[in-house]
């Protein structure tokens, strides 16, 4: 979003309505993550006659703040206090466990509300489309993050961390770095966070962070000599995590804050090939135009120069692998159906104009053996019936948040009363705060359309809003979870956490969540 667009959005939001009607402007926001909560907040502030209902398929609000932010980043989750105040507003209601597409259709929502804002984010993953992608042991980073954050949909993911000492993470963005840090960080440090209990237990047994006793092949008949020989063979036995990127360190997609944190992880050796740090004139131009990328490159260069310390028993290693793209996954001969490695093609960079470079294959290949792969190559939004959708870019076609009927971008083809915000609007990019500006733009479009008659005036609208939603859900025997239900969950989790020295113990199954909420 341009600075001018943000300025115009804030100009619209600063206007106050001179007269209030006894007929509210009925607004429904689908999704209670940052995009949805910021939209609700801005709508309530900008229009004193707005009545905002937030629906979410989960019984817990806050979206990726709860299920995506790493457990060792509690400061990032403080924003939930602000979001809670929004949900507690007298003109706002939260309806959890209400799924768009099954509990209620989009066309039904549009018939009930003057304004519908879709902000349900991206709950699927981009596929690589390469051989072997369906082998067991290969997961999306989203699934893994949901698993260690206690999302009920991934409670039973059960990644096998005990029987592999090497993990390959495809991608070098912030999510990839989060996943690598969770795999490598000492569990005694994670134990004081709100990481899911089932994930902590699995990480405590992980062979990626320590060498299990059984690896020494000890049994009652083992002689002392064989034990000593085995121990010597294992003295330089490493547990490794590889972060693989298609391009070079000058194009790394992470932020300096996230990179600095993982480079400082205790008892982890960092490996970066110095030849990967050589810069071309095109790289220099990219770094010149991006302060963030320049700082990331400097941190990587310093880590490469420092180099790893002398090897020690049970050493953990983090390898940054640049200029490689996955070509296929290898299947284990010992465990059919399970991944045993990644076949990588070496890449080079090719300029495509505007100072950008893309990775192109070289025809040269190499392999990394591993027992687990985590794909951090992008989230993907999922369309619902009757919603215009750009499948190529994974977004809803829109103009300033106004949904457009097709992908042509023609602003004349506006879907009246239907808007979009967040990842569904712009793609899976940005940080939590990015959604604030995104919401401001969408709400500014709503206010503009209301003032210019593109949305029916509340005084003439016959749409039932909240009353109609409650009636429809009751007719279908859908028991929504109100915000007070979430507050019960929150209270229970905090109480359980206080017994274990944690901020909370997350209820990790649908059954447990609904038992407390209802």
Annotation: binding site for NADP(+): 172-175, 246-247, 258, 430
Residue 283 backbone dihedrals phi, psi, to 5 degrees: -60, -45
- Spatial neighbors of 132 by CB under 8 A, at least 6 apart, are 138, 328, 329, 330, 331, 339
Binding residues for FAD: 35, 64, 100, 423, 430-432
What strands lie across the sheet with 402-404, from one edge to the other?
A: 92-95, 50-55, 25-30, 115-118, 414-420, 402-404, 398-399
**Could you tell me the CA-to-CA distances from 251 to 219, 279, 357, 422 in Å, in that order?**
50, 11, 9, 24
Residue 116 to residue 449: CA distance in whole angstroms: 13
Half-sphere exposure of 107 (CA within 13 A, CB side): 2
Which residue is associated with the tokens 């989750």?
A: 77
Residue 326 to residue 323: CA distance in whole angstroms: 10
- Spatial neighbors of 303 by CB under 8 A, at least 6 apart, are 263, 270, 272
Angle, CA of 447, 418 and 455, to the nearest 5°: 45
H or E stretch including 362? strand 357-369
Residue 300 to residue 159: CA distance in whole angstroms: 30
Residues in a beta bridge with 369: 341
Residue 91 to residue 381: CA distance in whole angstroms: 29
Contact 247, 347 (CB under 8 A): yes
- Which tokens is 104 given? 């209620």
Half-sphere exposure of 157 (CA within 13 A, CB side): 27
Q: Are strands 372-375 and 115-118 parallel, antiparallel or unpaired?
A: unpaired
Evaluate the CA torsion angle 472, 475, 478, 481 in order and state its sign.
Answer: positive
Q: Is 198 helix (H, G, I), strand (E, B) or coil?
A: helix
Residues in a beta bridge with 341: 330, 369
Q: Is 242 helix (H, G, I), strand (E, B) or coil?
A: strand
Contact 273, 301 (CB under 8 A): no
DSSP E strands: which ranges in 154-298? 166-170, 239-244, 268-272
H or E stretch including 374? strand 372-375
């Amino acid at each position: 979003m341009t600075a001018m667009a943000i300025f115009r959005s804030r100009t619209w939001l600063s206007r106050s309505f001179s007269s209030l009607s006894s007929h509210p402007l009925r607004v429904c926001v689908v999704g209670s993550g940052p995009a949805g909560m910021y939209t609700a907040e801005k709508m309530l502030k900008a229009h004193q006659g707005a009545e905002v209902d937030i629906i979410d398929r989960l019984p817990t609000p806050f979206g990726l703040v709860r299920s995506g932010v790493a457990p060792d980043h509690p400061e990032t989750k403080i924003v939930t206090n602000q979001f809670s105040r929004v949900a507690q507003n007298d003109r706002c209601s939260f309806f959890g466990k209400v799924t768009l597409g099954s509990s209620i259709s989009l066309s039904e929502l549009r018939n009930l509300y003057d304004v519908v804002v879709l902000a349900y984010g991206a709950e699927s993953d981009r596929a690589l489309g390469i051989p072997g992608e369906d082998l067991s042991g290969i997961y999306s980073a989203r699934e893994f993050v949901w698993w260690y954050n206690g999302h009920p949909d991934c409670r039973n993911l059960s990644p096998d961390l005990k029987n592999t000492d090497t993990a390959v993470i495809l991608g070098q963005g912030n999510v990839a770095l989060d996943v690598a840090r969770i795999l490598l960080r000492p569990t005694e440090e994670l134990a004081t966070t709100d990481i899911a209990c089932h994930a902590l237990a699995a990480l405590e047994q992980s062979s990626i962070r320590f060498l299990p006793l059984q690896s020494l092949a000890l049994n009652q008949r083992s002689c002392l000599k064989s034990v000593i020989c085995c121990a010597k063979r294992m003295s330089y036995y490493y547990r490794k995590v590889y972060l693989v990127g298609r391009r070079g360190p000058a194009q790394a997609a992470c932020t300096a804050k996230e990179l600095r944190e993982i480079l400082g992880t205790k008892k982890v050796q960092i490996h970066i090939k110095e030849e990967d740090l050589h810069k071309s004139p095109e790289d220099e131009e990219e770094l010149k135009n991006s302060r963030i990328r320049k700082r990331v490159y400097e941190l990587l260069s310093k880590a490469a120069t420092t180099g790893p310390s002398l090897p020690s028993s049970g050493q953990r290693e983090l390898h940054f692998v640049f200029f490689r793209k996955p070509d296929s996954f290898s299947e284990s001969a010992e465990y059919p159906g399970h991944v045993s490695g990644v076949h990588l093609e070496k890449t080079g960079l090719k300029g495509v104009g505007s100072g950008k470079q893309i990775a192109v294959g070289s025809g040269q290949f190499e392999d990394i053996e591993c027992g687990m792969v985590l794909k951090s190559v992008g989230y993907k939004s999922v369309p619902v019936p009757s919603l215009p959708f750009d499948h190529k870019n994974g977004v809803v076609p829109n103009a300033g948040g106004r949904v457009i009927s097709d992908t042509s971008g023609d602003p004349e083809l506006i879907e009246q009363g239907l808007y979009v915000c967040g990842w569904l609007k712009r793609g899976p990019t940005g940080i939590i705060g990015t959604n604030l500006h995104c919401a401001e733009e969408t709400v500014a479009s709503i206010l503009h359309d209301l003032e210019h008659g593109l949305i029916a005036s509340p005084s003439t609208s016959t749409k039932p809003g909240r009353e109609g939603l409650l009636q429809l859900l009751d007719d279908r025997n859908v028991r929504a979870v109100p915000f007070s239900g979430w507050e019960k969950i929150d209270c229970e989790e905090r109480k359980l956490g206080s017994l274990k020295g944690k901020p909370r113990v997350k209820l990790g199954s649908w059954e447990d969540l609904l038992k407390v909420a209802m």
